[in-house]
Amino acid sequence: MEEKKRSQILVVVAVAALLVVFGLSFIASNGAREISGKNIEFTDSYVVGYEGDFTSLNYSFAYDSSVFRVANLPSKSEIKIKDLRSGDISKVGIFYNGAAGFSGAEEFFENVSLGESGSDMYDVVNLSVKMFGRFPDGAYEGSAGDKVAIFKTEIGFVYAESKNFSRELLGLLESFVLTTGEKTSVMPTGITFKVYFLNDSIKKNGDCAEVVPVERMVFDTKNLGEASLRLLLEGPRGEELDADYMSSIPRGVWLNSLKIEDGVASADFSKELSATAGSCNVLAIRTQIEKTLLQFPAVKSVKISVEGKTEGILEP
């Protein structure tokens, strides 16, 4: 019983450490290059650590661009993977042992039993504790039957939450490579901007287009517009949800691309953005996106499209 309790405590500590790591990360470099045909290698890096002791953590993985669409969130320690065949979105996180005080993967896994998979590389377990944010209605992205796969490496592990661990998804996760880079004692300076949500308890006139800003911080000095939209799509966070913040943007919406030219921000989203009804909802979604982008001096107007189409998009 004591051993079981100890394991549960360690899992909680690990999840808490993950959240801290996410908050203390910034981009150092990123890129995707074609390996052969439709096979793409995605690389990125970010800094993790605590007061006066920070380390650059590098990662890379390979995927088939005809099967998956990949995007890392502004924290760079969390990645979303969309299966183009089913539309399912999996979430992937990176855990570095050093940031949580573990000497190595062996020390962590010898104390925490995560499940059985029949593989030497990973364990797949039923998802009993969600590691990611919830939506205004209290639900989580994905169903209660989601599972978590834990992929062990020498310096940490990669964990993934998914509805279905297909052969292709497992192959992608197995290709992850984690390495450490330079150490530094200085934490980079973050950049703060706003994303816009709805909050009926704050509204003054009941206007569908009345949205409320909340602050977000990133350590990526590039692509702030893209970072702001990705964080907008993530929706309100725990304390914000408790304070009645919500988003009209449907679940599972994916940012395909954002281009800013001559003051016009052209944002293209996945088909899920069209899965909404009611003139009030449509107006709220458009306003959330436009307000989030118009805060940047380089943006004078916003054009919204879905899978490349602009006609009839977000019209009442």
Q: Do residues 192 and 216 touch, judged by C-beta distance below 8 A?
A: yes
* Bridge partner residues of 46 (DSSP): 27, 57
Q: What is the pLDDT along the chain (316 residues), one digit of tens a residue?
A: 334 333 332 333 333 333 333 333 333 345 655 555 578 898 888 877 766 678 888 899 999 999 999 887 776 778 889 999 988 888 888 877 665 555 554 555 554 444 444 444 444 444 333 333 333 443 334 444 466 777 777 777 787 888 788 889 888 888 888 888 888 777 667 889 999 999 988 776 778 889 999 999 887 667 889 999 999 998 998 889 889 999 999 888 999 999 999 999 999 999 899 887 788 889 999 999 999 999 999 999 999 999 999 888 887 6
As a whole number of angstroms, the distance between CA 25 and CA 17 comes to 13
β-bridge partners, 216: 193
pTM of the model: 0.71
- For residue 223, count CB atoms less than 10 angstroms from its CB and return exposed for 0-12, middle for 13-18, buried for 19 or more: middle
